Every structure is written in structure tokens, then in C-alpha cells.
Amino acid sequence: MQNQQKTKIEWLSILQGWSMLLVVIGHVVLTDNMFDDKYPMSSYLYQVIYSFHMALFIFISGWLLYYTSIAKNKSFKTVIKSKVKRLLIPFYVFTIFTILIKLLLAQYVKRPVDVNEIIETFILYSSNPLKELWFIVVLFIMMLGYPLYVYMIKTVYREIFMLVLGVLLFLFIPNNIHVFFFHKFIYLYFFFILGIITAHHRIIEKINLSVIGGFSLCLFIAFNVLNTADVGWLGLINRLTGILFSTCLCLFLSRRLPSLFSSFRDYTFQIYLVGMFPQMALRVWFLNSDLDNMYGVLFFTSIAIGIYIPVFISRILKKYPTVLNPCLGL
């Protein structure tokens, strides 16, 4: 039983590392256009990653909510109090920090801040100076439904109803409602619920790696070759196959390379918060230099600094705690 528990933690840790790696790669934008025709390989890589990586991230979050809170019968008050500290404090601190940076360096940034719209930055996705932090707000909103999730897992019928509701939100609710990132919430709600239910029924332990993993990989490749990643039912299925393939891959790797991503997988939230800033700095330098022939090297450099600068900062702060620790969710 102890070995089984260890395996479960290892596959989840590797899956967290894998999902964070995808997020960091997705944030490597050295030019003014993510899908720049000058760099077709990176453009195609972005297309594949963005077709499923945030659905995977929220699926993991749902799984963890069950594992760390629902299964332990934690109260709503306890969960929300911890999420305010973990999610909202870093969100507001980094949003304010970004506003100040963009006001000071307005001539170099891609999306300058309008002083007259600062209040809107905390409400509207389109006005936020650090749009990449939208996931934090959406995840906190998801957490507000904690009593509903506890009620949901009491019967299979309730779980099915919530999954169907998630599908309907994904397929039919307009995605142009940007207040409090609502358009992102409806897009991810199904996958969050799926993560909770998957953990509750211990479905991961019942997966046939060779059959399910191979099948999901083939489907995922087919969907991305056909470029149908964001279209209705096909978009939903594509994200599901991406999640399933990633989970099978990490289950497989946990049995052969249990320490994979161990250099950063315990700092995924800190990487998400901080990693964009060194990547942005590298982008500014690239755009103001004649380094087109160095694009490949700088692409991988951006990945490395996006991961390991936050890890370095986090390790220093854990060893020597300061008032900055809560700002990074430490």
C-alpha cells in the first residue's frame, strides 16, 4: 500500500511538472506575434500546446482539491481561507507590480497600461496588464463551489449531472463575457469537475497504459494535424485526449524515471507567477537586437530562465523567509 501511495504521488508530481513545462513553453513569445510565419516550428508548437494545456492544468487542480480537501472533510471556511492566501494575495500583488513596471517601461511593453483604466484591471480580462494570471482568478472562483463539489460526489447521478453541465457550458455559452474572466471559467469548468470525479473514483489507477495511452495519443495527433483543436465537440474531445495522453505518459514515466522534473516540479505555482518576467525581459532584448539567427537558442534559453529563475528565488525565500513569501504563495 505504501508503494502504491508513493507511485500515485510520483505520477502526479511528474504530471504537474509536465503541465508547467507546457505553460512555460507557451509563454515563450520572442516576437510581436505568437504565430509568426518566420518561425513555423514554434508556431505549430504553440498551436498544439494551447489546444489543451490549460485544460490539463485545471484538471490537476480539481484532482488536488479532492485529494487535499474533499477527501479530508475540510470545511468550506478552511479551504477558502487557504485559497485567499495562496491565490488572491499573489494575484493582487503581481497585478499591482506589473502595473508599476508597465507604467515605468511603457515604451518597451507590448500592452501598455492606461492610468484611467487601472480599476478595470482587477475586473476585466481585456484590461488586465498581466493577462497570463487569469488562471489564478478562475481557479479561486472554482474553489467557491466547494460545498457543491462535496454534495456532488455523494451520488453518481449528481456527478453525471455536473459533467453534463460542464459540457453544455463549454459548447453553448458565449465566450465573450470577460468580467472576472468568466469566459475562461465556462471553458474550464468541465475539466475541473472531471478532475474531482477522477480522483474520487480512483480512475487513474484503473488505466491500461498501453491501450488507453496509445489510443489517446493517436487521437490527439489526428486532431492537431487536422487543426480542429478549438471547434465545438472536436475541441472538447481534443482536450480530453491531451489530458488522457499526458496522464498515461506520466504514469509510465513515474515507474521508470520517478525523479523526472524534480528540479522544479515542487515550484509550479511560483514558476507560473514569476517565470513570465525574465521571459518578457528576454523578449524585449530580442526585439531590440539583430539576433534572428539566434532564435532557436534564445527559445530554449527563455524556457530555462522561465523555470529556474523562479525556482532559485523560491528556494532562497524558503531558506530565508521574508514578507515576500506570501506574495509567491510560499
Of 131, 133, 127, 124, nearest in space to 115 by CA: 127
Q: What does the block give as the cell for 221?
A: 495527433
Task: State the pLDDT at residue 197.
Answer: 94
167 Cβ contact partners less than 8 Å away, ≥ 6 residues apart = 190, 236
Q: In the prediction, which pLDDT does 73 show?
A: 92
What number of residues does the chain have?
330
Positions of the chain with pLDDT lower than 70, given as ranges: 1-8, 30-40, 105-131, 174-175, 177-180, 227-231
pLDDT of 18 reads: 92
- Please tell me the predicted confidence (pLDDT) of residue 8: 47
What global pTM score does this model have?
A: 0.86
Query: How far, in Å, CA of 144 to CA of 64, rounded?
Result: 15
For residue 106, what pLDDT is reported?
61
**E-only strand ranges, 172-263:** none
pLDDT of res. 3 = 45
